[in-house]
Homo-oligomer: A and B are copies of this chain.
Amino acid sequence: MDREFTPSKRTNARRRPDRVRYDKAAVYAVLDASLLCHVGYVIDGEPFVTPTAFWRVNDTLYWHGSRQNNMINKVTGERARACVTVGHLDGLIAGRSGKGTSVQYRSVMAFGHPEAITGRDAKRRAMNVFIERMYPGRTEEIRPALDQELDEITVVEMLIEEASVKVKTDGVIEMREEDYEVPAWAGVIPIEMRVGKPQSDGRLAGNVQPSASITPYEEGVRLDGVLARLAVRQKAG
């Protein structure tokens, strides 16, 4: 398997090539640290961006929705393309000048031709991968999907044909030496997505406690770290 996505006119870095990479490990790391992506698509020549939950298996991204979902139907249309973008805001960079003021981030843009997965069994398998990706072991604990439920959704798969990853971890960088003499505090304010206190549903069956499928989401832990640890493991070979 190739270790890099090939730069193209879509992903080739025109500026700041030092911030942009194409190696799959770096692309995967940013994707797997998120549950939310933003899917870009075109209808009648106009741009649309819809946020949705997604998951990754090897070089393929997956998401799903109702069979009536407009985004789902448009991106799986004939020859339709999509741009799936994941962006993490990691910090505010407070400089002593506007130029030195910026943000830290990680982002991936991935391009491909999404397709609809048809067939109950294939949809069932895909949705189970999604549930296991979030909650390892949970498909053994919950009520299996009904045929009708599977018939009501479309699962989308998109082989990543091109992708790039952009990461900015800089601290404050001032352009002029004298800017460092400005008597204003400067530094980085980290931004972290964290898990809050889990709230039990009011209708639990008896005294059930969170199992090992839920306990990774311990109060206070960083979501990106949990999601990265729980990501679908690539099969060897």
- Listed in ascending order, the chain A residues whose CB lies under 8 Å from chain B are 10, 14-15, 35-36, 38-42, 45-51, 53, 66, 68-70, 81-85, 87, 89, 91-92, 94-99, 101, 103, 105, 107, 109, 111, 127-128, 131, 134-135, 138, 141-146, 149, 171-172, 175, 179-206, 208-211, 214, 217, 223
Contacts and interface: CB of A to CB of B under 8 A. Distances in A.
Nearest to A75: B47
Contact of A46 (B10, B131, B184, B204): B10
A180 B209 contact: no
**Assembly of this chain: how many copies?**
2
B171 A199 contact: yes
A227 to B, nearest CB: 10
A15 B71 CA distance: 12
Contacts of A46: 10, 42, 81, 83, 111
A217 B187 CA distance: 12
A181 to B, nearest CB: 5
Among A127, A128, A138, A142, the most chain B Cβ lie within 10 Å of the Cβ of: A142
Contact of A49 (B85, B98, B182, B186): B85
Given A89-B35, A196-B190, A209-B185, A14 B47 contact: no
B181 A201 contact: no
Contacts of A199: 171, 187-190
Nearest to A206: B183
A180 to B, nearest CB: 5
A40 B47 CA distance: 6
Nearest to A81: B46
Nearest to A111: B46
A189 B196 contact: yes
A69 B15 contact: yes
A122 to B, nearest CB: 15
Contacts of A48: 10, 40, 47, 83, 109
Contacts of A87: 36, 38, 51
Given A97-B143, A98-B131, A185-B200, A14 B70 contact: yes
